[in-house]
Each structure stands twice: as structure tokens, then as C-alpha cells.
Structure 1
């Protein structure tokens, strides 16, 4: 069977019509909240001068990645549920795999970069503006994207040569690497090993950077003489630590927990949470725990309310 003529069938999460309706409603609202929340953060950072620092520049890019990642997975699944059409072409499947992994891997490197930013802000506050200048920040962002791109290209290029001759049914709600490899009639051992190496390298490199940054941060903060200073320093890192815990915790459940590999339903459930719930929660985590973002949001709401009142009077 030639690859360009293949049409895959995505099994989705369930065949129960009532459950499909509930899943559609849940995913639709989580997707809309995720998009609205992350777009709000992006627009706030664009429009408020006091948020134009390295920390918020990285947060802006992180929000863009969250929107991109959930958009690569969820809208297609919503279309499949609403129309009942479970098919996806080979080309569309490859594109979906490429972008979901590109956005996901880039997100890990960006989280590591954000932890380094917090390390510089707390451990080297006098040199923060000099070290984390605009040129450095832009180069770090470009490096994150290039790292994601170069990590995904080798296994993806090998995967393009896979043959599918027995089954075209993918046991997932979107095109993911492992379910696609499971239905291939080609020898996938090399690709599986390469994916494992890439995943482990990405996880270890970024995780070590995060852990080392926070070890130095904790050591520095504990040396502060004032309890108020310690509280303020930890509060600037709390949102990032929560997001890191959610992201790495989800990754561990899918790729490291031994039973997870044997339980397809479990993997699909965790993937659903990663692609829908996490991108929705992150804007709330950052806005509710960050005074400057909350202030910017309140100012924007007041301006919009004032403009609406002026228009009504006219």
C-alpha cells in the first residue's frame, strides 16, 4: 500500500454517542478557554510597557506554544466527533505528528529557559538586565525552536519510509508516533530506539537545567536575612514551578510509568489532559499568582468598561 494513498482511521476515545457529546462539550469549552486565556496573556504583554521584560517575553512565547500545541490536536478531534468522520489522510497525519512533537519539545526547552531566567533574576539581580537583554532573549527563543526542530527531524524522516499493509486503524484520537508505529508492517525497531533516545535526551537536558536552576535559587533565597524577601523570591517562581510539575509529571506518567505502555486507554486519557486541560490551566496559574499580570488585566478591563460606557452615552 503506497503511503500517499493511505487513509487512516482514528478510533477516538469512545463509541458511546452520549459520551461523545459530553467529550465534545468538554473539549470545546476547554479549547476556547485555553485560546482565550493564552491570547489574553499575549495581548497584555504586548500592550503594557511594565510587562516588557525577559520574564514576560518568555511567558508570551510559552502562551503561543500552548495555543499552537492544543490547536494541533483538539480541533481535528472536535471535527471527527461532530461529523462522525474518523478518517485522516497520510499527509495530514504526518503534519499533525510533526507539529505536535515540535510544539511539545520546544515547550520543554522553553520551560528550561524560563527556569534559567528565574535563576539570573534571583541569584544575579544586579546583572539581570545586562545578562537577559533583548538580543539574548531572542537567541534563546530561536534556540528552543531549533532544538525542537532538529530533535524531531531524524525519527520523522525515518518514519516517512514506513509501510502500512495490514491495518490502517490508529488507536488514538489524534496521530501519535507510538500508535502509528504499532500498525506499521515495517521494522520499527530503529525508529523506536531513536524516538526513545530523543525523548530521554530532551527530558534529561531540560530537567537537569530546571533542577540546577532551582537548587541555586533555593540556596540563594535561604541566605536572605528577611522573611519578606524570601517570600517574594519564592512567589516569583511559584507559577513556573507549578507548570513545570504538571508538564514533567504528565510526561513521566506516559513515557516512564511501565504500566502506561500497556494501557492504551490510560495513555489516551493522559494525552487528552495534556492537550486540553494543561493549556487551559496555565493562563490561570500565571494570572492568579502574578500581581503584575493581574494589575495589567484589571487595567485593561477598566479601560474596556470605560470605552463601552462612553459609547453608550454617545
Structure 2
């Protein structure tokens, strides 16, 4: 049976969403739209500053620009459709649209998880091997790191999209979520999904636990280096360079592991939807703030840009 040939290709699905039209939910929806707008503006601004300011043309900021691009694409993949369904009251999504949403979502989340893991290696090289840093993190290595993150994420997304869309959906079309997420969609399949459940878990282990292991190993080495430093100022500076990344890692991996690595019997749709809002909308908004407000170089680039705009407007 072809991927697009079954009955679902004409019927599509109904996304039950996370909100009703009660006054409380209207306020919460408005809050999400404010967060969405902030995520768009923050990530676009950060990418722009990194591109135009030569002082930010370093490996760390190159990775940060890729992270912002992933966050930007993630919120644009989820929120506009959710908002359109809420405002129109239709809550529908086509079969093809659902597959596309799954492909983009899984690809972007997988790519971001891998990139955050490999960014920990960058911090290790900068702190533990500063004299070799220009060699360890040259331009070719940086492009390979970013490219491999995108590539493995896209492969994971394609595998899950094709597998999920191949199942027959001949019963209910009501997806208990605000976007097409694979675990929520598979509950509607009228076929045995146990083999795919194993594949899905294996993909989650690879895409989450492998980069998380890199993070733990890198920071173990960093901690050893910091403890050997005699200067308190040097220790503070080293830890400060890691604080933003550690915060971003905690937000992303905490939510992702809660969703995908829990046993099925402990999962509840309501909890999953709330946590999904956290890492599909809130985290992409917080990442630019985490990396800019606690970073003198980014704030300096922003002030420099604002000064140029002010001088230009005066002329």
C-alpha cells in the first residue's frame, strides 16, 4: 500500500488541540501568541547580529546561529497551524499536511538535540584545550558538526514520517494533541505498531541519549579543568562561558526526555501537551534571551546596531 493511498489521504485528521474557547483559554492562547512573536523576533535578530557583526564570527556563534534557525523553523512548523485551527474552529489537518508536520518536527528536534550535544565539545575544546582550540574547531570542523546535526535529524525525521504515514488509519481521526506528533497519531492506527514503537524508542535513544552522553563527558572534563585552575577569576570566567549552554541543554533535554523516554503506561495526553508547548514554543523564545542577556558580545553587537540606526535616522 502506498504512503498516500489509504483512506486517510482524503479524510485527514482532527487536531483536538489544547484550548477550548473559554475566557481562561483565550488568555492562554493570547499568551502563546505573544511568546511565538517573541521567539520569531528574538531568533531572527540573533541570526542577523551573528551574520553582520564580524566579532561574532566564531565557532560558538556559528553554532548558535544554527540553533536559532532550528528554533525559528520549529515554531513556524507548529504554531501557525495551531493558531489557524483555534481561530477558525475547524481543527482539521490534511493527511499530507500531517506527514509534513511530523517530518519537520522530528527533523528539527533531532537536529537541535545533536547540535546541543556537539556544542558541549566546543566548550570543552575552548576551556580544556585553549591552545589547540583554533585547530580543533576550525571552519571545516564547524561546518561538519553543523552539517551532521542537520543530516542525522533529517534522516530521523524522514524515517519516522514515512513509517507513521504508512499505517492504515481506519477508525477515529481525532488526534489528542495540538499538532501531528507520532505517539499521539499511532494511537489511531488500526494495525500492530509494536515494531514501530521499538524503532521509535531506538531513534529517541540515539537522538537524545547519545548527544546527552557527549554533554556529560565534555562537562566532566571541563569540571576537571576548572578544579585545577588556581585563579578564582579564571574559574568564574570558565563557568560563565558554559552557563548559557547548560541552561539551554537543561530546558531542551528535560522536556524531551520527559515526553519520549517515559514508559507508555506513565504517559498522559494532558501532560504531554503541556510539556510539548514548553519545548515547541517557550524554549525557542528563551534560547535567544539565554544567549544574549548573559553574553557581552551579543549585547555589544546589539548596542552597536542600535547606535547605527539612531545615527542614520538623525541624518
TM-score band, normalised by shorter chain: over 0.9
Q: Tell me which of 260, 266, 270 is aligned to 2:271.
A: 266
Query: Partners of 2:261 and 2:165 in 1: how far apart?
Result: 26
| Structure 1 pair 175–261 and aligned structure 2 pair: CA distance change class (3 A) | farther
Query: Partners of 2:133 and 2:151 in 1: how far apart?
Result: 25
Following TM superposition, by how much is the alpha carbon of 1:253 offset from its aligned partner in structure 2, in angstroms? 2.1
1:87 aligns with 2:92: yes
Query: Partners of 1:261 and 1:42 in 2: how far apart?
Result: 39
1:188 aligns with 2:188: no
Q: Deviations over 1:92-130 (max 9, x none)?
A: 000000000100000001001111111111111111112
TM-score, length-scaled by structure 1: 0.95
User: Match of 2:93, SS?
Assistant: strand
Partner of 2:118: 113
User: Match of 2:13, SS?
Assistant: strand
Query: Partners of 1:248 and 1:98 in 2: how far apart?
Result: 20
Query: Partners of 1:217 and 1:274 in 2: how far apart?
Result: 27
User: Match of 2:189, SS?
Assistant: coil
Query: Which deviates the most, 102-111 or 255-264?
Result: 255-264
- CA RMSD, Structure 1 to Structure 2 (Å): 1.5
1:55 aligns with 2:60: yes
Alignment of 1:282-293 (within 5 A): 282-293=287-298
Partner of 1:128: 133
1:8 aligns with 2:18: no
Query: Partners of 1:124 and 1:67 in 2: how far apart?
Result: 32
Following TM superposition, by how much is the alpha carbon of 1:257 offset from its aligned partner in structure 2, in angstroms? 4.3
Q: Deviations over 1:20-68 (max 9, x none)?
A: 4223311211111001111111111111111100010000100111111
User: Match of 2:166, SS?
Assistant: coil
Number of aligned residue pairs: 310
User: Match of 2:14, SS?
Assistant: strand
Partner of 2:174: 169
Contact 1:9 1:88 in 2 (8 A): yes
Query: What residue ranges of structure 1 are gaps of 5+ in the alignment?
Result: none
Following TM superposition, by how much is the alpha carbon of 1:260 offset from its aligned partner in structure 2, in angstroms? 8.2
